[in-house]
Amino acid sequence: MPPFAPPARTAWCSSTAAAIWATSGRITSGFATGSSRRCATIASCSWPQSIHFDEPAASHRFAEHAARHPDFTLYVRDRPSLDIAKAWVGERARLAPDSAFALGAQRRPAAAGVPLLALMRSDGERRPHADAVPAHATIVDWLADDEAPPPGRDAAARQRQAGARLQRGLRLLARGERVVTDRLHGHILSLLLGIPHAVLDNRYGKVGAYIDAWTGGSPLLERRPDAAAPLPR
């Protein structure tokens, strides 16, 4: 796993960059018509993203906005996304690991309470193999928030909310002696926590593509490409 310290992050954008495009982790049509238009004339870069469009027309819209931008660097976190990004913006496309690695190694906030925790998607990126999770596993998904975030809408409040969200995710994963997940950040945070885990892919291969690019050599990782492979007991 490559180091990804804060100084490396600050070097992503030139010293004149005025905007960083941030999304939930993948570039979609909403991103194409939102950030790209608002930042159309100022130096910009993106957090590392995965690129996936269900609608070709949305892909074309984003490609047009990105290509027209005079100073935009598009960071992506896997090689299939890099191929797409280079077709859009040429050498302004760069490969970088997910920014969560800047957190560094994390300590388990509590002792494990269950033998197998399954952090599985419950949204549109879910694949049918999620149903192959062993019956004895404790199944969770962090979309089901069980606590209210700190209030506020200013920058300091957003920082507190992000910190609270991270700590909740760490506590959730730390409940398992082992983890099974089809979420990319379930995989990344399990690595940072030192938890052995098995990984299933999401609907369009985002998790597997990231593992191929960055984390496939980790001894903590047990990759399960399909439902036919037995999951850990």
Parts of the chain with a pLDDT under 70: 1-41, 130-131, 145-146, 225-233
pTM of the model: 0.82
Distance CA 185, CA 165 (A): 12
Q: Which of 184, 203, 47 is nearest to 125 (CA)?
A: 203
pLDDT of residue 102: 93
Q: Is the dihedral of CA 96, 98, 100, 105 positive or negative?
A: negative
Domain boundaries, the chain: 6-101, 105-223
pLDDT at 172: 96
d(CA 122, CA 142): 9
> How many CA atoms lie within 13 Å of 126's alpha carbon, on the beta-carbon side?
13
**How far apart (Å, rounded) are the C-alpha atoms in residues 193 and 116?**
15
pLDDT for res 233: 53
Query: Measuring CA to CA, which residue among 98, 101, 55 is closest to residue 78?
Result: 98
Q: Do 50 and 27 form a contact (C-beta atoms < 8 A)?
A: yes
Reported as a single tens digit per residue, the pLDDT across 59-74 is: 888 888 888 888 888 9
Structure confidence at residue 15 (pLDDT): 43
What's the CA angle centered on 100, arms 146 and 162, to 5 degrees? 40
Buried-exposed string 158-191: b where 16+ CB fall within 10 A, e elsewhere: eeeeeeeeeebbbebbbbbebbbbbbbbbbbbbb
**Tens of pLDDT, residues 129-180:** 756 788 899 999 988 766 788 899 998 998 999 999 999 999 999 999 999 9
